[in-house]
Amino acid sequence: MSRFQSFPVAELPVGIRLGCAVYDEHNTKLLAAGLAISDQLVQALHRREVTSVLVSTTDIGRMQAFRPQGQSKHPLPDREIDIAPTENDFSREMDQNLNAWLRPAADRVGPKFSDRVKKILDGTYDEEWVEHLATAHELQVTQLEQVGRSVVRGGSEQVLALTEGCAEVIDRILNDVDAFTCLGGNPNGGEYPGRHCLHTAMLAISIGTSFGCDHEQLRNLTIGCLMHDLAMLEVDQYTLKSRKVLDANEFREITKHPVRIFDLLETHLDHVPEAARMVAYQMHERFDGSGYPRQRQGCEIHLLARIAAVADSFVALVAPRPHRNGLLAYYAVAKLLKDASAGRFDPQIVRHLLQAVSLFPLGSYIELNDNRVARVLRTTPKYDRPVIEMWERGSVSAHGAVVDLSHEPDLRVMRPLPALR
């Protein structure tokens, strides 16, 4: 059954066809399911001074797909981590035989997956493909939410849904790598942790593809990312949804979840490949040893977990949370570059993040040096000169002029914008 929440009328995108009906705040139906939002509807709502409507969370996800949600320029200060000492049979086995667990699937044995991926050099995203991606994405978010709730209730057999469904996620990158990465790198703040896990998996696939991973490595990476935060559902939900920064004791509870996931999946953990387990276990470790749960560093951290760590951190930075706004994606990249320089992340992996999303990440809104505005569509080998869709300021319409900045030396990006105006 669909859940509904309030959504600003000013942000309703004209032309999108919604799967569920739209209601006003008094539960009066305004638009039937299956009909498209029109200019006439939006104008009529404005005339009636209706500022917000009730829209299904699935349709909100589709409306917000491919669009940045971050508004902030400044990340919260990094916190010192006080780690909760916790372990189980599975974590002890990995800790005692670390070198053996690091070797399997760390080296590519098959052909690079990037050889199969379609890289479109210019042009906007295909509208039918975008709609397909957004719809399939929202369906999978819902499925992950159901899997998570079932796992917490003891239904560990649901881990099969993660391992069997990961191939579908990976294959979505094949048609248009930039569209896939744009969707993955622009999460909204809803349905935590399912939405966060899926966006992290998608961005990790993009980074891993750029890095040269084969299909089996990407499969392990995806499974690990999809399962990594499910144990967060055991954390007190009031704590997770708090509008304040967590205190030290509350955050200590958070540091248990990379171990607790193995308790939740214990009876069906044999369906999870070893490398995927290492991703879920180690993706909150940091290259300089400042992470959790075991403060591993450098090559003590599985290669795929190092990729997942960068993807997870980017998605967490740009997604809105109850206690803070999300970052504009440019500032998220800037933070990760700074952290890599300080040793917190593998610098090689952060370089591949740049290759996957660019310095002004896919989907970002930007201002150019001639006062025009644009959104970033595609990456180029020059990190700061992507392919963009461009408009005159104040005249943003459905389709703008597509320009490859790597071929336009007189045009350059001046700054990121929180919205197109």
Q: What is the pLDDT of residues 176-226, one digit of tens each?
A: 999 999 999 999 987 888 899 999 999 999 999 999 999 999 999 999 999
Cα–Cα distance measured from residue 376 to residue 122, given in angstroms and rounded to the nearest whole number: 11
Q: Which residues contact 287 (CB under 8 A, 6 or more apart)?
A: 297, 298, 301, 306, 340, 343, 344, 345, 346
Q: Give the Cα-Cα-Cα angle 296, 301, 305 (nearest 5 degrees).
A: 125
Element (H, E) at 275: helix 274-282
- SS3 assignment, position 157: helix
Q: What is the pLDDT of residue 153?
A: 85
Q: pTM for this structure?
A: 0.94
What is the side-by-side order of every strand in the sheet holding 373-378?
A: 401-404, 387-391, 373-378, 365-368, 413-417
Q: What is the pLDDT of residue 106?
A: 60
Across residues 262-282, what is the average pLDDT?
91
Across residues 340-356, what is the average pLDDT?
98
Measured from the Cβ of residue 57, the count of other Cβ atoms closer than 10 Å reads 21
